[in-house]
Amino acid sequence: MRVLVSMTAMTTVLLLLVGCASDFEKRYAEAERMRMLAADAGAEWLQTEKLVSQAKKAAARGDMERASALLEIAQFQAETAIMQAQHEADAWAGRVVQ
């Protein structure tokens, strides 16, 4: 009985860990995809790439909380950079010296 309980517990923990990891992989891929889109628009910010790679390192040493926080910032930066580029697609012309 005891063995069963502990085995169940271990499996649950293992599944949770795997779940977190695959969730991280998914979010990592998404952040990286957005960063590339920002780069394609010529709009990538200075620290986004570093944030993504730091997140990966944090995940590799098991610090999922930090990894997740870093990814969130990277994702935000990439999305905001893309919005910035979309806004600038028209806005720049208004600044041309007349």
Partner 1 sequence: MASKSQYPILLVLLFFCGYAGSANSDDQVAQGKALATDRSKGNCLACHMIEDGVQPGNIGPPLLAMKLRFPERDMLKIQVCDATLRNPNSRMPPFCRHRILSEEEVELIVDYLYTL
Partner 2 sequence: MRKAIAAVVLIGTTLLMYQTVFAGAEEDRLAFVKYYKTRFPDIPFAEYANGIYAIDSDARGQWLEIEEFPPYEFAVEQGQEWWEAVFENGKTLADCFPQQLDEIRVSYPRLDERLGEVVTLEMAINQCRTANDQPQLTYGGDEIIDITAFLAYQGRGKELEVRVPENDSRALAAYESGKRFYYSKRGQLNLACADCHVTSVGQLVRADRLSASLGHTTHFPVYRSKLGGMISLHKRFAGCVRDVRAKPFALQSTEFRNLEYFLSYMGNGLKVNGPGARK
What's phi and psi for 61, nearest 5 deg? -95, 15
Contact track, partner 1, 27-56, x by CB under 8 A: ------------------------------
27 alpha-carbon distance from chain centroid: 5
Half-sphere exposure of residue 30, counting CA atoms within 13 Å on the CB side? 13
Binding piece for partner 1, criterion CB under 8 A, among 5-13, 16-24, 27-35, 89-97: 89-97
Q: Which residues bind partner 2 (CB under 8 A)?
A: 39, 42-49, 77, 84, 88, 91-93, 95-98
